Amino acid sequence: MLDLGELAWAGVPCWSGRAERWATFTVPVAYAARYDTDVRPVMPGNPISLKALVRVAEARAAYADHATGRGSRPTNERLAADTGLSVRTVQRADTALRLLGVATEVLRGRQRTRNERMASWRVGDRGRGWASVWALHDNPFINRLIRALSPHPEGSPFRETFSCRDMVTTAVRRRPGAGNRGAPRRSSPEPAALALARAWRADTHSPPWARRYTVTAWVRVLAGPARHDWTARDVNQLIRDWVGVGHWLPAAPHKPIGLLRAILAWHASLDERPAALEEAREAAERASHRAHLDAQAAAHTAHVRARERARRALDTPGHAAARAVVAEAARRAAHKRSLDAAADAARAADAMRAAGEGRGPQGYGFSPR
């Protein structure tokens, strides 16, 4: 068999009784309590009856360790042959047992590697795969429910519902002063501390171990900083400052709450927010950038206004008279150019006429000897 080692079973519970009790009591109780809520929505088109589930559970429990319920590793074909059901029904039953919380698949079945096949063949095993390894155990929810049940047969909450029409009272004899020595109620967390813990735990810059505990677990540690208006950035900046002076910060501390408490105790005073200087520097940079943008906007506005004033200045009488003089000069220059062009054309025509009169009959020119 494939040796899984001891670490494979770490965190996996054991059953509290023998195989008969687990198959005939634990599985039916879990089926009645959680099948409609935890199994049916996940397997809408693959239902499994209680009778078939119990048959598969009994067959699988026969291959498990009688003391712990671990090491159940028969193949689906073996279970189908033992129960007389189909392999598909065995697969549905395994899924239902896992969803009901009464079985855990420690190792999923797979094909053997070449080295594993060679080692198996040397001992006469011709198998080509490993069957899934299961651990059969009780469900903590079912155990709590069973302990809360009434000892009377009609007290089962699975099949029947009751409507109390008559008031039932029970006389209770109490010792004098017994109610005055009860445990005090835990005070509700401060809203500021709760908000700081929630913001710090959700901040992406917070260390990963900040999310190992719930928000309420960090409230008592962060109550003091919250009273001094600390933010999640202040807590993260304090952690960076603590590391910057040479302290070692483990990636997964053993007690994160105690570590944060020690870091806060190392800080001189809660009145001095660690991120105050950085926030002031960023605020000054934002103000400088805003002033630069305002100066650019003011310069652009002044340029636009000056251009508009220059355009309006072009409509004065002096500019209109100057434009008229320029237009008249341009018109006269154009007229002069047209007269010069006409004179040049006339001279060219006279020259061509004179050249034509000095030619022979065939139009070729000659010179007398």
Residue 282 corresponds to which amino acid? E
Nearest by Cα to 271 from 222, 220, 229, 221: 229
31 within domain boundaries: yes
d(CA 125, CA 263): 60
Torsion, Cα 346 349 350 353, to 10 degrees, reads -160
Can you read off the two tokens belonging to residue 45?
């088109």
The pLDDT score that the predictor gives to residue 157 is: 46
Angle at 172 between CA 169 and CA 173, to 5 degrees: 155
Q: Give the pLDDT score at 175.
A: 54
Q: How confident is the model at residue 321 (pLDDT cuts 50, 70, 90)?
A: confident
The identity of residue 244, as a single letter, is: G
Instruction: Provide the CATH number for the domain around residue 31.
Output: 1.10.10
135 and 34 in a common domain = yes
Q: Are residues 42 and 130 in the same domain?
A: yes
User: Collapsing DSSP states into helix, strand and coil, what is residue 316?
Assistant: coil
**In the structure encoding, which two tokens stand for residue 194, read together?**
């709760």
pLDDT of residue 158: 45
In whole angstroms, give the CA distance from residue 52 to residue 39: 15
- Domain holding 135, by residue range, is 9-148
Q: Please, which residues bridge with residue 105 across strands?
A: 134
Largest pairwise CA distance in the chain: 168
Residues in the chain, how many? 369
Residue 79 domain-assigned? yes
Region class of 304: left (phi > 0), else alpha (psi between -120 and 50), else beta: alpha
User: What span, in angstroms and rounded, lies between the C-alpha atoms of 10 and 344?
Assistant: 114
Whether residue 288 sits in one domain with residue 256 = no
Q: What pLDDT, on a 0 to 100 scale, did the predictor assign at position 171? A: 52
More reliable by pLDDT, 10 or 324: 324
Checking if the pLDDT of 162 tops 60, the result is: no
Q: Are residues 236 and 295 in the same domain?
A: no
Q: CA 5: distance to chain centroid?
A: 35
Instruction: Please give the average per-residue pLDDT across 65-90, as a whole number.
Output: 90
Hey, is 324 helix, strand or coil? helix
Q: Do 295 and 318 share a structural domain? A: no
Residue 252 pLDDT greater than 50, yes or no: yes
Q: What is the SS3 assignment for 261?
A: helix
Cβ contacts of 52 within 8 Å, gap of 6 or more: 83, 85, 89, 93
Half-sphere exposure of 247 (CA within 13 A, CB side): 15
At 349-360, the pLDDT tens digits run 888 888 887 655
Higher pLDDT, 17 or 15: 15
Q: Would you say residue 202 lies in a domain?
A: yes
Q: What is the pLDDT of residues 203-249, one digit of tens each?
A: 999 999 988 888 888 988 898 999 989 999 999 999 999 888 888 88
Say if residue 17 is in the same domain as residue 140: yes
In a domain, 2, yes or no: no
In a domain, 364, yes or no: no
Residue closest to 235 by CA, chosen among 244, 226, 248: 226
Residue 33 lies in a domain: yes
Of the chain, the percentage scoring pLDDT greater than 90 comes to 30
Same-domain status, 232 and 327? no
- 284 and 259 belong to one structural domain: no
What does the pLDDT look like over 67-77, one tens digit per residue? Answer: 888 888 899 99
Q: Are 188 and 182 in contact (CB under 8 A)?
A: no
Same domain, 19 and 140: yes
Same domain, 18 and 89: yes
User: Mean pLDDT, the chain, as a whole number?
Assistant: 82
Q: What is the DSSP string of 120-168?
A: HHHTT----EE--EEEE---HHHHHHHHHS-SSGGG-TTT------S--
* Residues 108, 239 within the same domain: no
Residue 50 lies in a domain: yes
Number of domains making up the chain: 4
Cα(222)–Cα(31) distance, integer angstroms: 44
| Residues 2, 110 contacting (CB under 8 angstroms) | no
Residue 123 placed within a domain: yes
The reply to whether 98 and 138 lie within a common domain is yes
Q: For position 21, what pLDDT does the model report? A: 84
pLDDT band of residue 362 (cuts 50, 70, 90) is low
Nearest to 78 by CA among 120, 121, 131: 131
